[in-house]
């Protein structure tokens, strides 16, 4: 059985879907690995390192020829998959709700598209969960990027020349990225507060030594939907949240927003009027900028200065940590395929819980219920 790893071609994408470590592990299962020349360079992995681990190195066409499985970070252009076996699996990020046309084209081409972002949030699948592995790094990088633009220091410093005050950092959205943003801002010495619509996060915020900022006493609200994800909130809640944020945000130096709702545009958390109340020189990092943005006026990969406040956000934050992001993504791929490895069949055989959740296309059709119901 052959696995192909292509060089990623999306603008700004620096990651790669396998590392020498996972090439060795796949080889241990008896699989042959083909890696496109230069595929790992942006993530500091040389062709020689892949070759030493047991992969063959070649052109895109040679890499894909007769492949049973193609592993990617982002779904490869179908043109690159000519020569792969009919019905080959392609496991990558498909952004299925936004890029439905790509999913349809994969179905028409007869490939089995496996959407790594649809991996269920269950304990058994934690080691295969690319959203978690990448969000964790993104939360860390968001704080560092904000610290870089901020014209002051994060920690309190008492020096002979006088005292530097600690920065106040506010994290909005306490999922995987938000928790890491809290921890990172704390490590840098900021005074940290955080908010979320899911009340379960209150304790998590406190356990990281940060202050929870929560809407209280709004009836009939449960912010947690299926799979632990956030749901869209009622108008009453949104109004109460906006008021709370308005009073809190004016005192903050750093704000990191991470709020996402699967399959929908990111919720707007900060308006232009709220930005106007912040101190000049403050920094907002909008981790949801590529999904429409939590912050009014944020633009991907730009520093927008609005009312003296710097608003930043990367279109692809994990790609700013290419080596670690690739290492973790590659392990997610390996953990996924090896968990379903069938020794007798000498190929992975997916079960319904995970296979059914992530399989987008099969037998020439779109088969994913979540997508078909959207």
| Active-site residue list | 121, 126, 129, 132, 229
CB atoms within 10 A of CB 103: 21
Q: CB under 8 Å to 352, separation ≥6 — which residues?
A: none
Least CB distance to ligand NAD at residue 204 (A): 8
Tokens 């990088």 belong to residue? 141
Q: Return the number of the residue (2 or 141) whose C-beta is nearest ligand NAD.
A: 141
Backbone angles phi, psi at 244, to 5 degrees: -65, -45
Q: Would you list the DSSP string of 173-200? A: --SHHHHHHHHHHHHTT-EEEEE-S-TT
Half-sphere exposure of 308 (CA within 13 A, CB side): 10
CB atoms within 10 A of CB 291: 18
Tokens 């088969």 belong to residue? 367
Q: Return the number of the residue (6 or 259) whose C-beta is nearest ligand NAD.
A: 259
Least CB distance to ligand NAD at residue 179 (A): 8
Least CB distance to ligand NAD at residue 120 (A): 7
Integer Cα distance of 329 and 125 in angstroms: 13
Integer Cα distance of 237 and 145 in angstroms: 31
Q: Return the number of the residue (56 or 234) whose C-beta is nearest ligand NAD.
A: 234
Q: Return the number of the residue (177 or 327) whose C-beta is nearest ligand NAD.
A: 177
Least CB distance to ligand NAD at residue 176 (A): 4
Q: Return the number of the residue (43 or 233) whose C-beta is nearest ligand NAD.
A: 233
Least CB distance to ligand NAD at residue 104 (A): 25
* Residue 349 DSSP symbol: -
CB atoms within 10 A of CB 95: 16
CB atoms within 10 A of CB 187: 12
Q: Point out which residues pair with 262 in neighbouring strands.
A: none
Task: Give, in order, the Cα–Cα distances in Å from 78 to each of 117, 235, 366.
Answer: 19, 43, 16
Least CB distance to ligand NAD at residue 175 (A): 2
Q: Return the number of the residue (90 or 256) whose C-beta is nearest ligand NAD.
A: 256
Tell me if residue 127 falls in helix, strand or coil.
Answer: helix
Q: In the bound complex, which residue of the shown chain has the CB atom lying closest to ligand NAD? A: 175
Backbone angles phi, psi at 125, to 5 degrees: -100, 5
Provide the binding-site residues for ligand NAD, judged by CB under 6 A.
Answer: 121-123, 125-126, 129, 131-132, 135, 172-178, 195-198, 228-230, 233, 258-261, 267, 269
Dihedral sign of CA atoms 139, 145, 148, 150 in order: negative
Least CB distance to ligand NAD at residue 174 (A): 5
Q: Return the number of the residue (20 or 96) whose C-beta is nearest ligand NAD.
A: 96
Integer Cα distance of 275 and 310 in angstroms: 10
């Amino acid at each position: 059985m052959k696995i192909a790893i292509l060089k990623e071609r999306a603008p700004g994408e620096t990651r790669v879907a396998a590392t020498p470590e996972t090439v060795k592990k796949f080889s241990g299962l008896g699989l042959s690995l083909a890696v496109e020349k230069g595929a790992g360079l942006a993530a500091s992995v040389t062709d020689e390192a892949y070759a030493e681990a047991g992969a063959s190195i070649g052109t895109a066409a040679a890499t894909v020829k007769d492949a049973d499985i193609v592993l990617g970070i982002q779904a490869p252009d179908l043109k690159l998959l000519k020569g792969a076996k009919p019905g080959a699996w392609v496991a990558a990020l498909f952004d299925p709700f936004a890029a439905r046309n790509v999913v349809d084209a994969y179905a028409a081409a007869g490939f089995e598209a496996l959407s790594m972002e649809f991996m269920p949030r269950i304990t058994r699948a934690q080691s295969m969960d690319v959203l978690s592995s990448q969000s964790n790094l993104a939360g860390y990088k968001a704080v560092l990027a904000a610290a870089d633009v901020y014209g002051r220091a994060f920690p309190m410093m008492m020096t002979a020349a006088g005292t530097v005050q600690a920065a106040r950092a506010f994290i909005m959205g306490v999922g995987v990225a938000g928790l890491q943003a809290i921890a990172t801002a704390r490590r840098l010495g900021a005074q940290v507060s955080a908010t979320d619509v899911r009340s379960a996060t209150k304790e998590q915020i406190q356990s990281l030594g940060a202050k929870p900022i929560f809407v209280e006493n709004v009836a009939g609200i449960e912010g947690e939907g299926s799979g632990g994800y956030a749901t869209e909130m009622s108008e009453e809640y949104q109004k109460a949240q906006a008021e709370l944020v308005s009073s809190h945000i004016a005192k903050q130096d750093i704000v990191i927003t991470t709020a996402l709702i699967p399959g929908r545009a990111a919720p707007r958390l900060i308006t232009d009027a709220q930005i106007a109340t912040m101190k000049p020189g403050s920094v907002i990092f909008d981790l949801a900028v590529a999904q429409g943005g939590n912050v009014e006026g944020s633009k991907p990969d730009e520093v927008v200065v609005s009312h003296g406040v710097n608003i930043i956000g990367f279109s692809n934050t994990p790609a700013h940590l290419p080596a670690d992001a690739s290492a973790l993504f590659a392990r997610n791929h390996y953990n996924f395929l090896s968990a379903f490895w069938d020794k007798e069949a000498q190929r992975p055989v997916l079960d319904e819980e995970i296979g059914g959740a992530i399989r987008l296309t099969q037998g020439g059709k779109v088969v994913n219920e979540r997508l078909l119901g959207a």
